[in-house]
């Protein structure tokens, strides 16, 4: 019997158990205040879920039960761990008063739990070993490229900021963790865009991509229709999402850009052209042209769009992390939906200029709208 999924499952669920146990000792931070599920803490339930998943995967390895029984049991136990962690994550949001502190523990537990659920499903359905390796490799590479691209962009932005500081264009406080000014944010935007493009070019070279693989062609009338229609759909989705939150009495997290704009809105006018020149091209090149296309072979086109959007949402976490857990999740959900629409436009047209235009136009409209909202006019 091929027990690769069971072996990986034992390691994954075991890692989840270790992560939860580490929060008990203080090595990894959890959630404060704590959330209970009945008479026990949500953290304890998550730990028991991971322990049960380890046992279920182990039973399959030793042939005590069938792979299907073990896989279903492990997937269910892992799902319990994920749900308990989510209860711990969102619990403080619904408690009156007090400060809420969210550590790294819940994020690790949810991520590990999700992988454990997937491995349980793979074990139950008898996914072949070669398919497991293909999926694992594709997901690892896509996630790594997305995260490392973000880090490289941030590093290049810091060097650009240093250069701007030496030239007297921005204050030194931005590099020392102080308040980021409008000019500093403009430098960061350009620097991160350059970093994205440079890193993406290195990845494209490693993947042996050619210029033709960039999918940069003169837009047809059909492409133009998708581009304009995509902008309209994104704006309608944003308005509908905002109205739904208002009806439910909820609100999304305020982005770091909006917080800065409340203090100095003038830089927003320069962010409008930068949306088309740096933000749209750099992000769409990395996430749509490189990551999404890379995932086509391993997952198919539709799943590749969804998975790419998940990675896209993860790298935008820091932009919305200042809100409550619920606000942050709602903001990232909106980012995920918008990214999915961008991916779909690229899938349908196979022309990178289409999602670049949609992304740039959508951001530009947001910046201009925020400027008008704050200042009351041009």
Reading the chain (378 residues) residue by residue, the pLDDT tens digits are 457 889 999 999 999 999 888 887 777 777 666 655 555 788 889 999 999 999 999 998 888 888 899 999 999 999 999 998 888 777 654 444 445 566 778 888 888 999 999 999 999 998 888 888 888 888 888 989 998 999 999 899 989 988 888 887 776 555 555 555 677 888 889 999 999 999 999 999 998 999 999 999 999 999 999 999 999 999 998 889 888 888 877 777 777 777 778 877 888 899 999 999 999 999 999 999 999 999 998 889 999 999 999 989 888 877 776 666 777 778 888 889 999 999 999 999 999 999 999 999 999 999 999 999 888 765
Q: What is the pLDDT of residues 279-322, one digit of tens each?
A: 999 999 999 999 999 999 888 999 999 999 998 988 887 777 66
- Say which DSSP state 374 is in: H
pTM for this model (two decimals): 0.83
| Architecture of the 4-127 domain | Up-down Bundle (1.20)
Residue 45, burial from CB neighbour count under 10 angstroms (0-12, 13-18, 19+):
buried
Q: How far apart are CA 77 and CA 117, in angstroms?
A: 8
Q: What is the pLDDT of residues 254-277, one digit of tens each?
A: 777 777 788 778 888 999 999 999
CA pseudo-torsion sign 145, 147, 152, 153: positive
Is the backbone of residue 31 left (phi > 0), alpha (psi -120 to 50) or beta? beta
| Beta strands, E only, the chain | 31-32, 36-37, 40-41, 101-102
| Domain boundary assignment for the chain | 4-127, 137-375
Is the backbone of residue 250 left (phi > 0), alpha (psi -120 to 50) or beta? beta
CA dihedral 349, 352, 355, 359 (to 10 degrees): -170
- Say which DSSP state 170 is in: S
């Amino acid at each position: 019997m091929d027990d690769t999924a069971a072996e990986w499952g034992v390691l994954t669920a075991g890692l989840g158990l270790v992560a939860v146990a580490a929060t008990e000792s203080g090595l990894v931070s959890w959630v404060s205040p704590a959330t209970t599920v009945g008479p026990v803490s949500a953290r304890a339930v998550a730990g028991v879920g991971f322990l049960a998943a380890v046992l279920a995967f182990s039973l399959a390895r030793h042939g005590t039960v069938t792979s299907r029984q073990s896989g279903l049991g492990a997937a269910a136990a892992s799902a319990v761990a994920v749900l308990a962690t989510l209860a711990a994550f969102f619990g403080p949001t619904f408690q009156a008063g007090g400060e809420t502190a969210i550590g790294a523990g819940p994020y690790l537990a949810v991520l590990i739990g999700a992988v454990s659920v997937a491995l349980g499903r793979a074990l139950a359905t008898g996914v072949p070993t070669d398919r497991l390796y293909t999926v694992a490799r594709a997901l690892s590479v896509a996630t790594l490229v997305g995260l490392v691209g973000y880090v490289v962009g941030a590093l290049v932005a810091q060097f650009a900021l240093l250069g701007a500081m030496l030239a007297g264009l921005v204050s030194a406080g931005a590099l020392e963790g102080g308040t980021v000014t409008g000019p500093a944010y403009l430098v960061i935007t350009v620097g991160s865009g350059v970093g994205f493009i440079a890193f993406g070019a290195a990845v494209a070279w490693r993947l042996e991509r050619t210029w033709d693989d960039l999918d940069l062609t003169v837009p047809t009338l059909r492409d133009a229709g998708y581009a304009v229609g995509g902008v309209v759909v994104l704006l309608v989705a944003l308005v509908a999402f905002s109205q739904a939150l208002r009806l439910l009495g909820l609100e999304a997290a305020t982005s770091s850009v909006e917080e800065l704009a409340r203090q100095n809105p003038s830089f927003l006018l320069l962010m409008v052209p930068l949306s088309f020149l740096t933000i749209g091209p750099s992000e769409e090149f990395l996430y749509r042209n490189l990551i999404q296309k890379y995932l086509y072979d391993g997952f198919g086109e539709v799943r590749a769009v969804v998975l790419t959007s998940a990675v896209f949402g993860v790298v935008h976490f820091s932009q919305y992390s200042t809100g409550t857990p619920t606000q942050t999740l709602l903001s990232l959900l909106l980012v995920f939906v918008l990214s999915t629409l961008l991916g779909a436009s690229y899938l349908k047209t196979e022309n990178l200029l289409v999602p670049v235009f949609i992304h740039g136009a959508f951001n530009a409209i947001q910046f201009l709208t925020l400027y008008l909202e704050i200042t009351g006019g041009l």
